[in-house]
Amino acid sequence: MPPVPSPVPIEARARWGLLDVVAGFLIAQMAAILVTQVGWDALLPVGTALGAGLAGLAEGERLARSAGAPLMALVVAQLPLWGVLVGAVVFAGQVRGRGVVEDFGLRFRPIDVPVGLATGVGAQALVVLGYWLWGLASDGLDVDLPARQLAAKGDGAGILALVLLLGIVGPVAEEAFYRGLLLRSLERRLSPVVSLVLSAVIFAAVHIQAVQFAGLLLAGLAFGWLAQRTGRLGPAVCAHVAFNLTTLALLL
């Protein structure tokens, strides 16, 4: 009887890593820029979720150039970015690894819903409290201005698209990329704590929102902690959904 081969370590079976993260991110930015240019001849700053690409509407000339773009167009313009991010995760897992479920924990359990929702709402409450205190200390700093300007650009179908895409589609895509591919790529090289902090910093930084950086950092830490604690992306996705929907509920 031939000997039973020993298990192959994940490092030998999964060939994905930080190169896949960088390539996916850069291609996603180029795809979003191309779509916005083709769509209405305006170069919007491209970020993720409620950050750059949407919140940049409050910035000088870019606000003037994109002021005529309907809310629906601004929201849908994020789809190629999210699509490429998800594509990078699928390519890394299915082609260069053992699959997105095995490598990145893209699975859900019923308990993920209440745990994730409670974490997301709690994180948003801390962010709101922190910025309220910051506003008192900084003579009324308006951290919600970009998102409020975005919400003010439309109603009806545009608002519905905003809720569905930024409240659900965006969080799923971002969690697959940032807490799936990015975080686990970092964990192959660094300690879990360093990987958690670094992934949260990157997540906050790519939104290109200096004022909102602290709040996004807190959110990234919470989402990443859930992913590490459970080994699944389900709780992190639910938390991200709750975080974004709470933001929208406060502004719409």
Q: Which residues contact 84 (CB under 8 A, 6 or more apart)?
A: 24, 27, 28, 31
Assigned domain for 7 exists: no
Q: What is the distance between the alpha carbons of residues 73 and 206, in angstroms, rounded to a whole number?
A: 21
Q: How many CB atoms lie within 10 A of CB 154?
A: 19
237-250: pLDDT as tens digits: 999 999 999 988 87
Assigned domain for 94 exists: yes
Assigned domain for 138 exists: yes
Q: What is the distance between the alpha carbons of residues 171 and 25, in angstroms, rounded to a whole number?
A: 16
143-197: pLDDT as tens digits: 555 555 555 545 566 677 778 888 899 999 999 999 999 999 999 999 999 999 9
In this prediction, residue 50 has a pLDDT band, given cuts at 50, 70 and 90, of: very low
pLDDT of the residue at 58: 39
CB-based burial label for 227 (10 Å; 0-12, 13-18, 19+):
buried
Assigned domain for 132 exists: yes
Q: Which residues constitute the domain of residue 32?
A: 16-251
Using only C-alpha atoms, the chain has a radius of gyration, in whole angstroms, of 19
Residue pointed to by tokens 């974004």:
244
Assigned domain for 4 exists: no
Assigned domain for 223 exists: yes
**Global pTM value:** 0.80
Assigned domain for 156 exists: yes
205 close to 215: Cβ distance less than 8 angstroms: no
How would you write the chain as a 3-class SS string?
CCCCCCCCCHHHHCCCCHHHHHHHHHHHHHHHHHHHHHHHCCCCCCCCCCCCCCHHHHCHHHHHHHCCCCHHHHHHCCHHHHHHHHHHHHHHHHHCCCCHHHHHCCCCCCCHHHHHHHHHHHHHHHHHHHHHHHHHHCCCCCCCHHHHHHHCCCCCHHHHHHHHHHHHHHHHHHHHHHHHHHHHHHHCCCCHHHHHHHHHHHHHHCCCCCCCHHHHHHHHHHHHHHHHHHCCCHHHHHHHHHHHHHHHHHHC
Average pLDDT, the chain: 79
What's the structural domain count of the chain?
A: 1
Assigned domain for 5 exists: no
pLDDT of the residue at 47: 46
89-110: pLDDT as tens digits: 999 999 999 999 999 999 999 9
